[in-house]
Chains A and B, each alone.
Chain A
């Protein structure tokens, strides 16, 4: 087990290195630069800025400089947000997005798993049909529509929920809902189909023949087998939500990492692009390692090699 984790962490570090390298060269291949778009800056000033940040040097030299600095824990200064380092920006905004994502995924699990169970258990009945329709809507409706609908209904019309920022508990409700709708619907569908599959297995018949109640059969014998696909899905889903959602953060005016992600790219803020990409890659790799370990815990047949 320990050997396996060490191996996976080593492989993860290699993946992060590859991602960083690819991102570095790709973003430099894209035309434009951090100071090009601003017309008010004179040619001479642009060159001065470029040389100040070392952008006038050959690309390979810049790559080596960035990577050595990165290994020392220095992700550089933001090219567009004057006077702020990349780590400073990420560490001030990441907790906001991560907290929001954590709550959203928790809600999605708490709602999605029971709904999936109810749906599978009442297969073909009215409750199943209602859940299927709601689930399909949840998957089909993009977050910018659900966010705006929520904002209009509860913020503007009913005027019962705050519309801006994350100042108190109530202000979390709408952004968390907007973020949780898609994963909830997805988990419900995964749970339903997986549970239907498991309920048809021979060992469920054995459990019934033992005289166990449907409750014990479902929760002890079926759920543990049926939950694996959900675990697989939730890991990477949590990782990508933690780095923030541009749409939801923009609509609810939340100072999260999602906006930095998008704006760093359109601004050609090279150091920020590198920082946010590396954070996302790290989270996804970590989530996958955790999922694999959880797999082993849930299903003893799985061998970690």
Chain B
């Protein structure tokens, strides 16, 4: 794996991705111009509430958009391949091989009628030239890698004989079986209890150090991204409303939505009587997205222009950027000052 010498090698470039679900009720605009890039070895966190397009973005990197979803614009360049132009057959060679995924609920993500061994070996046999014996040995090695004891015994067991944490470790083993360049973790700890969550996160960090793959971490748990990720994309209604390093997002949030998210995190050092600050209102209806900024209806600092036009990108130092009219206003103000 090319960690070290190729640190700055571009691995993933998504440009203006637009994706809609064509349902009987109408076109649900799930992604409305998502763009970001990832270098090899990057760990990117995508945060946002349910329905903000986090998972849809990640699945589209594998060409796994569920029916009736359809990519209607933009491009996805992964490791030199245009994912959006690939045939199903070409995509199958990438899935589970160069890009793999860990799903949210390990209790239901493994097939109940096949053994753990069978399900790990399956993906090895599919993407490599290994024989059955070699695949079996590799499966055993993988179970050891993800910290499962008695791998020989576990390989012969069925998913229902394992605990939730163990099953998630098995899912990770499956995802890592072919040494992917990119690992997508779709809320990998949401369905687990807190102590197991910590163990799984620790395992993922350890594996990343060992194997050097890039990771996209999808979550709505800001604590998880803070501990895992170097960069964070904040999504809202199919837009990336703010993007930056973890420090940028936590210590210098620019978008009103990001500020709201950070305010709503419970803190240990405040009085017990103090209430959490929620973001008022409901998520937008993606069947009829608003004309302007999608967050405007819930934004406390909403202006007239916010309702009319989508705010352009405002860039700050380095990689940090955000889409908000308030920031534009600040810039205008600054410009005006310098003119004076």
> Is B94 among interface residues, defined by CB-CB distance under 8 A?
yes
The answer to whether B113 touches A209, judged by C-beta atoms less than 8 angstroms apart, is: no
Give which listed residue, A208, A209, A221, contacts B111 with CB less than 8 A.
A221
Inter-chain contacts of A203 with B (CB < 8 A): 108-112
Stretch in B75-83, B120-128, B211-219, B297-305 touching the partner: B120-128
B82-119 CB mask vs A (1 if < 8 Å, else 0) is 00000000011111110011010100111111100000
The answer to whether B94 touches A206, judged by C-beta atoms less than 8 angstroms apart, is: no
The answer to whether B174 touches A211, judged by C-beta atoms less than 8 angstroms apart, is: no
Which residue from chain B places its CB closest to the CB of A299 in the assembled complex? B113
Inter-chain contacts of A225 with B (CB < 8 A): 111-113
* Interface positions of A from 249 to 305, Cβ below 8 Å from B: 298-301
* Interface positions of B from 28 to 63, Cβ below 8 Å from A: 62
> Is A224 among interface residues, defined by CB-CB distance under 8 A?
yes
Tell me the complex Cα distance, A59–B158, Å: 57
> Is B160 among interface residues, defined by CB-CB distance under 8 A?
yes
Inter-chain contacts of B101 with A (CB < 8 A): 209
The answer to whether A202 touches B160, judged by C-beta atoms less than 8 angstroms apart, is: no
Which residue from chain A places its CB closest to the CB of B101 in the assembled complex? A209
A187-221 CB mask vs B (1 if < 8 Å, else 0) is 00000000000000111011111111100000001
Tell me the complex Cα distance, A282–B44, Å: 64
The answer to whether A205 touches B112, judged by C-beta atoms less than 8 angstroms apart, is: no
Q: Which of A210, A213, A298 has the most CB of B within 10 A?
A: A210
The answer to whether A202 touches B113, judged by C-beta atoms less than 8 angstroms apart, is: no
Nearest Cβ on chain A to B317's Cβ, whole angstroms: 37
- Knowing A211-B126, A212-B122, A300-B160 are in contact, say whether A205-B92 is a contact too (CB < 8 A): no
Nearest Cβ on chain B to A297's Cβ, whole angstroms: 10
The answer to whether A298 touches B113, judged by C-beta atoms less than 8 angstroms apart, is: yes
Inter-chain contacts of A299 with B (CB < 8 A): 112-113
Tell me the complex Cα distance, A212–B127, Å: 10
Nearest Cβ on chain B to A215's Cβ, whole angstroms: 11
Nearest Cβ on chain A to B94's Cβ, whole angstroms: 7
Inter-chain contacts of B122 with A (CB < 8 A): 210, 212
Tell me the complex Cα distance, A213–B87, Å: 12
Nearest Cβ on chain A to B56's Cβ, whole angstroms: 13
What are 16 A-B residue pairs whose CB atoms fall within 8 Å in the complex?
A202-B108, A203-B112, A205-B64, A205-B109, A207-B111, A208-B64, A209-B95, A210-B126, A211-B95, A211-B96, A211-B127, A212-B122, A221-B111, A300-B158, A300-B160, A301-B113
| Nearest 5 A/B pairs, CB to CB | A211-B95, A210-B96, A211-B96, A202-B108, A203-B111
Query: Which residues from chain A sit less than 8 Å from chain B, CB to CB?
Result: 201-203, 205-213, 221, 224-225, 298-301
